[in-house]
Amino acid sequence: MDVKDFDDWSTEFNSEERKNRRKEAGLTAEDHKNLGNPCDVVVIGTASPKEAFFGFFNPEQAERMKSAGVVSKPTVTFLEN
């Protein structure tokens, strides 16, 4: 997804409040910056079960993302090992 400013977004993403919200929902996540485009963010995480991820992304979460500086709709890809 694209963000206005990676450092500002990352500070919010990595705040204790945000980490606790993810933990309560059963999610873990790490943010990564595209070196060629620092406003392009990749988040790699786990959600078990997958439904935990869908439950986390509700209208309130969408608003939190927008207020943190997200400017594009995230692309979500599920992987299995």
pLDDT at residue 2, as a whole number = 97
Closest CA to 38 of 6, 80, 10, 77: 6
pLDDT at residue 80, as a whole number = 86
- Tens-of-pLDDT digits for all 81 residues of the chain? 999 999 999 999 999 999 999 999 999 999 999 999 999 999 999 998 889 999 998 899 999 999 999 999 999 999 988
pLDDT at residue 15, as a whole number = 96
pLDDT at residue 81, as a whole number = 80
CA dist list (Å): 37 to 3, 5, 42:
10, 11, 11
Q: Give the Cα separation of 20 and 17 in Å (integer).
A: 5
For the whole prediction, is pTM greater than 0.85?
yes
